[in-house]
Amino acid sequence: MYARTIPIVPAVRSGQGSKDASFEYLTTRKDELIGWARKFSIFPYPFVTACCAMEFMAVSASPYDTDRFGAALPRFSPRQADLLMVVGTVTHKQAPVLLRVYEQMCEPKWVMAFGVCATSGGFYQNYAALPGIDRVIPVDIYIPGCPPRPEMVIDGIMQLQDRIARSSHPILTKDF
Amino acid sequence: MPAPIFDTLQQELVPTSGPAVVSHGVLVFVLTPAELLPTARRLRDAFGFDVFLDVTAVDWLGQVPRFEVVHHFYSTRHTLRVRLKTRVAEADPGVDSLLPLYGSAAFMERECHDMYGIRFHGNADLRPILLYEGFVGHPLRKDYSKTHEQPLVPYRN
């Protein structure tokens, strides 16, 4: 894994030799610029169903502070969010709700399976539990653990940021 | 030290199967389906068992009769619990509803019907409460496979 940085080329006017820090223009690739902007402005929608919520609160609070990654402000409307954090066990009865929330989110959107229940159903194998939310919606980042340590969540967020930065960001999609 | 009501119950409330036995400090009455409603009524009115704690069932797969419906009651006056066990057959797994005695029976009997398929005569509203509409079978029965899934959303692959 590698992190790309945006090559910022300061404008140097010939003959003037400006030494101040103001940029006249910069050159970069469109995908890298948008990816760089998007990776630091993740607005999560917490779909919190079970005990992993405690760990979600721990990782959001000041000792671990997901705000450092630009991913701290939860939006409680899926229409304003671009990261769906599924925190906890999802049952078959709840799967239609999860799908509806996912479909209400605007592109671009990413999904994080937080904890082992959202990842694979965990230790539940019965009539009630959905064996992993990826049966219903596509998942970008899986975080194992029951519950995951805050470090694991932060690592997951950073991996997702790398993924966002490296992916293509079309201005126009096939739908729009 | 057991409450005075403990001995009184053992002497005065005797179903056809014999007097109550003590299991882990709880009086256990084994009843026939016909005895359930009168016994519960007597527990509430004559002995002060004012709280209906729970109704559940046990699936003794392979035995006849197969199911055992278990009621628990609590008396706030005597701070005592009792347990009623009623065996019902697989062909018609039904007992009388306790809805005339305790309003809280409505939801608990719905849950028991969800999980074990016990029918409660007199409870008109046995729609699924924890399960969902369209769920086939009763998942806490021993012959319900633990790997059997009934998803509401079609799987992606």
A150 located within any domain: yes
A70 occurs within a structural domain: yes
Cβ–Cβ < 8 Å for B144, A87 = no
User: Is the pTM here over 0.90, yes or no?
Assistant: no
Binning pLDDT at 50, 70 and 90, where does residue A5 land?
Answer: low
Q: Where do we find the tokens 């999980």?
A: B115
Residues of B in contact with A134 (CB under 8 A): 156
Number of domains in chain A: 1
Both structure tokens of B72: 């628990």
Does residue A3 surpass a pLDDT of 60? no
Question: Which range of residues forms the domain containing residue A58?
Answer: 45-162
In a domain, B118, yes or no: no
Q: Are B156 and A92 inside 8 Å of each other by CB?
A: no
Tell me which of A93, A100, A101, A127 to substitute to probe the interface with B (most B C-beta atoms closer than 10 Å).
A127
For residue B149, the distance in angstroms to the closest alpha carbon of chain A comes to: 6
> Do the beta carbons of residue A150 and residue A158 sit within 8 Å?
no
Across chain A, what does the average pLDDT equal?
85
For the cut 50, the answer to whether the pLDDT of residue A134 exceeds it is yes
Q: What would the two tokens of residue A54 be?
A: 């405690």
Residue A19: what pLDDT?
60
A105 lies in some domain:
yes
Contact between residue B144 and residue A127 where contact means Cβ atoms under 8 Å apart: yes
CA closest to A127 among chain B residues: B149
State how far the Cα of B23 lies from the Cα of B19, in Å rounded to an integer.
13
Statement: residue A60 has pLDDT above 90: no
Residue B155: which of A125, A127, A135 has the nearest Cβ?
Answer: A135
The answer to whether the CB atoms of B152 and A92 lie below 8 A apart is yes
User: What share of chain A in percent tops pLDDT 90?
Assistant: 47
- pLDDT band of A23, cuts 50, 70, 90: low
Residue B110 lies in a domain: no
Beta bridge pairs of residue A117: none
Q: In this complex, do A135 and B132 lie within 8 Å of one another by their Cβ atoms?
A: no
pLDDT of residue B73: 94
Q: Which of A18-27, A105-114, B116-125 has the lowest mean pLDDT?
A: A18-27
- Give every residue of chain B whose pLDDT is below 50, as ranges: none
The CATH number for A152's domain is 3.40.50.12280
Does the residue B70 lie in any domain?
yes
Answer whether residue B136 is part of any domain. no
Q: Which residues have C-beta within 8 Å of that of residue B151, sequence separation ≥ 6?
A: A92, A95, A130, A135
Show the DSSP H helices in A107-149 as ranges. Answer: 116-120
Q: How confident is the model at residue A13 (pLDDT cuts 50, 70, 90)?
A: low
Give per-residue pLDDT as tens, B37-72: 999 999 999 888 999 999 999 999 999 899 999 999
In a domain, B128, yes or no: no
Residue A34's pLDDT is 87
The residue among B116 and A168 whose pLDDT is bigger is B116
Which residues from chain A sit within 8 angstroms of residue B156, using beta carbons?
A: 134-138
Which pLDDT score, from 0 to 100, does residue A14 have? 55
* Closest-CA residue of chain A to B134: A93
Whether residue B115 is contained in a domain is answered as no
Comparing alpha-carbon positions, the chain A residue that sits nearest to B148 is A127
How many folded domains does chain B comprise? 1
Q: Does A32 reside within a domain? A: no
CA distance A105 to A81: 6
- When CB atoms are compared, the residue of B131, B147, B152 closest to A95 is B152
CB contact residues (below 8 A), chain B span 110-139, against chain A: 131-132, 139
In a domain, A98, yes or no: yes
State the number of CA atoms in the 13 A half-sphere of A56 facing the CB. 24
The answer to whether position A31 is within a domain reads no
DSSP summary character for residue B31: E
| CATH for B75 | 3.30.460.80
> Considering the domain boundaries, does residue B57 fall inside one?
yes
pLDDT at residue B15 in the model: 79
* Residue A132 covered by a domain: yes
Per-residue confidence (pLDDT) for residue A32, from 0 to 100:
86
Which structural domain range is residue B64 located in? Answer: 4-92
Q: Nearest CA of chain B to the CA of A34: how many Å? A: 30
Nearest CA in chain B to A95: B153
Residue A1 confidence (pLDDT): 42
